[in-house]
Structure 1
Amino acid sequence: MAKIDDSVKKKVPELRFKGFTDEWEQRKLGDLAEIKDSARIPNIKWQKEGVPYLRSSDLSSEHIKDGLFLSLADYMKYDKITGSPKKGDLIFASGGAIGLAIYKHDSLPIYVQGGSILYVKTSKCENLDGLFLKYSFASPKVKKYIRNASTGTSLKHFVLKPANALPISYPDLIEQEKIGSFFKQLDDIIALHQRKLDLLKEQKKGYLQKMFPKNGEKVPELRFAGFADDWEERKFKDILKTHSFRSYLADGSDDGKYEVIQQGNNPIVGYSDGEPFTDYKDITLFGDHTVSLYNPQSPFFIATDGVKILSADNFEGDYLYTTLERYKPAPQGYKRHFTILKNKDLCFTRNVEEQKQIGSFFKQLDNTITLHQRKLDLLKEQKKGFLQKMFV
């Protein structure tokens, strides 16, 4: 790819494939392709098979799902009113988040949810490639137009009139196809990493179930070799120690030596100086309202009294963290979940060596999950950057 220096003067993207120098054209989408609005069919009788019914919630960047069906006779009534998508057409939800999909079937009829989906007949358009248009919709300029042109209060809708008026900048078809193919490959890589990450998370859930005893049992289904003793059953309030937090409350800022921890999915709220909590080795931080867990790796402060500083006598630190993951209560709104946790039963091993092996196993698994999450986040950020620079 080549970076263009005169992108401000000419209608060209900042980043471009080599060999392309012509300026991009800009037209209204309705002047380039026919846009169809889905029609409603009253009194539909759903069937177990027949013509698939496409809902706006079924749209994703990768595929179209189907689950509901209607009869061919009902479909023919619909098709006479609005027609049906053909292979290569761009289908998008007109309400809420704009979900996008390229219709991939050659001849399969489909009923599109009335009033919730628009589709662009790119299959009949000589100047516009469907994949290119799909990623144009994800570019910052078009997203801003859709956001500003959508109407409604609680649920925004992008309807037919502003869709026809949507300004689209585009190069010749060869360059369009290259851009569409590039982003499709990038999406395929992102989807692959997402599947790997989802699989790892599912594997972890399975291990958490099998490496702790089931209710009423004294040993886990899956266990490291060399351990045979029964596990003990107690309540969390009998084993957990809570540490005073008041001396370690701090406001996070960009400056400071020590982490300031909040509850939730983004635990590091900032940094602070002073006298932190230093005996962190076997500590787990529990979010009272969010049921989040954090395993500190250095001295720390906390941002709120909703963060509980926990340890347990004769519990190795990583094992305590894993045990809390296994038995933590399901979130129940903005409640004090620590009270719920204290009254829960748990089953645990007293064998320190077995605790270490279990804790180490899950720590390594968490590190692998974190690594895959970072790769996925980086790919998504790269895609954002390309969308910013490869469209006018």
Structure 2
Amino acid sequence: MNVPKLRFSGFTGDWEERKLNEASSYSNGGSYENDVRSSGKYQLVTLKSVDMAGNLVDSRKYIDKEVPTLSKGTLVMILSEQSPGLLGMTAQIPENNKYVLNQRVAEIKPNNNTDSYFLSMAINRCQQYFSKRGAGTKVQNISKGNVENFEFYCPIIEEQQKIGYFFKTLDKKIQLQQQKIDLLKEKKKSLMSRIFNPTQVSEWRKIEINEFMEFSTGKSQNEFIEQQGEFTVMDMGAISNEGKIISNKFTNHSTALISQGSLVMPKDDIGGGKIIGLTAYVPKNNKYVLGDHVYLVKVDEKICNPLFAHFQFHSVPFRKRLKRLVTGSAQLGITSKNIVKEYFYLPSLLEQAKIANFLLSLDKKIELEIQKNEFYKLQKQGFIQQMFI
């Protein structure tokens, strides 16, 4: 029988297999590149308007030209892949008379017997179908024929609506949780800007970095990488743009172990330079090994709390100063010789510890909220697997 594993009570019978062109109508977008403004009456739906979760995101492109707009409940589908996994992804238009469809994005308009949210979920869970049929070398494209021939299983409209509403509620829960996370991050950023603002810290000591920090470099650990290694390799790819440690390379080679309280700083970046000069704080001994493309930063703890230093490196005032020191074109970089000429503002060690622990508690709170949202997302994926065929 063609039925899902998990079903709302009151619904029985097989689901029917349909082609997308039997459940909706397809239209292509127009070419409005010459009409784009930074603000305007209508938001342009572009290849950047749909994310990996099937959410509609702001393209930051607008037009004032009077052209046909998309209706509420219409789906928009990505026809050219800008990032792996986005080809064929859909998002739902939330309101009338606000959105205009650009080229390389399709309008999928559900018919009266098809629930919009259900259809979007049914399409988005089958990304393999679209990626297999993508054509092109540098950029993958999907044809109208392949889109319209997409097949999926579908129940009666009442059951579709029930399923659609259920996932809409789940998505809203995830969205609200993400907003909570974003607000906490903004709060932390704002607090750090105030804490480390030079105009607000006149009583703090201004001191050059070379007086209390030492910078050294490591070597590539690539020849020693193992799937089940005991130690995490700290190289350029091991530090996020928020200064978190990303454990994605492991080794059993222990010749360059990093001690607790050390900082690791990316010195090169090919992705726009966003991580250059950020630091990751090493929380444990005998856990991390130094790799390449990073500096190992040792802080004199008689002068500066290492965790306090980590947060000051991430503060907006310091980031602005450090950005001026970055050089290069294709691969950006920063030299330790230039960094050590910069300066920190330092209060007493007691105050440093209090500030560091306060900001660390905020980080832990943010991490807990992130974990909660990851659980919601996993929960959603579990329901998708059981409630669709």
TM over 0.5: yes
Instruction: Check 1:35–1:304 CA distance in 2 against 1; reply closer, same or farther (3 A cut).
Output: same
- The alignment status of 1:365 with 2:362, answered yes or no, reads yes
Question: 1:45-72, CA deviations, whole angstroms, 9 ceiling, x for partnerless residues?
Answer: 9797666544343446455758523444
Task: Note if contact 1:93-1:118 (Cα within 8 Å) is conserved in structure 2.
Answer: yes
Instruction: Show the counterpart of 2:146.
Output: 162
Task: Note if contact 2:113-2:157 (Cα within 8 Å) is conserved in structure 1.
Answer: yes
Instruction: Show the counterpart of 1:87.
Output: 72
Secondary structure of the 2:381 match is helix
Which residue type is aligned with residue 373 of structure 2? L
| Pairwise CA distance, 1:134 | 0.8
Instruction: Check 1:64–1:362 CA distance in 2 against 1; reply closer, same or farther (3 A cut).
Output: closer
Instruction: Check 1:250–1:243 CA distance in 2 against 1; reply closer, same or farther (3 A cut).
Output: farther
Secondary structure of the 2:304 match is coil
Task: Note if contact 2:224-2:253 (Cα within 8 Å) is conserved in structure 1.
Answer: no
4+ runs of 1 displaced by more than 6 Å? 45-48
Aligned equivalents of 1:378, 1:99: Cα separation in 2: 23
- The alignment status of 1:138 with 2:124, answered yes or no, reads yes
Which residue type is aligned with residue 121 of structure 1? K
Aligned equivalents of 1:43, 1:261: Cα separation in 2: 46
Give the 5 Å matches for 1:89-238. 89-96=74-81, 97=86, 98-106=88-96, 108=97, 111-113=100-102, 115-122=103-110, 125-139=111-125, 142-214=126-198, 217=199, 219-220=200-201, 230-238=203-211
Aligned equivalents of 1:360, 1:48: Cα separation in 2: 42
Aligned equivalents of 1:99, 1:340: Cα separation in 2: 47
Instruction: Show the counterpart of 2:250.
Output: 270
Instruction: Show the counterpart of 1:30.
Output: 21
**Alignment: residue pair count:** 355
| Structure with greater Cα Rg | 1
Task: Note if contact 2:229-2:252 (Cα within 8 Å) is conserved in structure 1.
Answer: yes
Aligned equivalents of 2:17, 2:32: Cα separation in 1: 36
Instruction: Show the counterpart of 1:384.
Output: 381
Aligned equivalents of 1:278, 1:90: Cα separation in 2: 51
Aligned equivalents of 2:282, 2:33: Cα separation in 1: 58
1:320 pairs, out of 309, 322, 329, with 309
Task: Note if contact 1:250-1:302 (Cα within 8 Å) is conserved in structure 2.
Answer: no
TM-score (norm 1): 0.77
Task: Note if contact 2:35-2:63 (Cα within 8 Å) is conserved in structure 1.
Answer: no
2:344 pairs, out of 344, 347, 368, with 347
| Pairwise CA distance, 1:211 | 0.6
Instruction: Check 1:237–1:250 CA distance in 2 against 1; reply closer, same or farther (3 A cut).
Output: farther
Instruction: Check 1:296–1:102 CA distance in 2 against 1; reply closer, same or farther (3 A cut).
Output: same
5+ residue gaps, structure 2, are 269-274
Which residue type is aligned with residue 112 of structure 1? L
Which stretch of the first structure deviates more once superposed, 156-165 or 257-266? 257-266
Which residue type is aligned with residue 152 of structure 1? G
Aligned equivalents of 2:75, 2:185: Cα separation in 1: 33
Which stretch of the first structure deviates more once superposed, 377-386 or 44-53? 44-53
Task: Note if contact 2:213-2:297 (Cα within 8 Å) is conserved in structure 1.
Answer: yes
5+ residue gaps, structure 1, are 1-9, 221-228
Instruction: Show the counterpart of 1:304.
Output: 291
Aligned equivalents of 1:150, 1:249: Cα separation in 2: 33
TM-score (norm 2): 0.78
Secondary structure of the 2:197 match is coil
Instruction: Show the counterpart of 2:62.
Output: 68
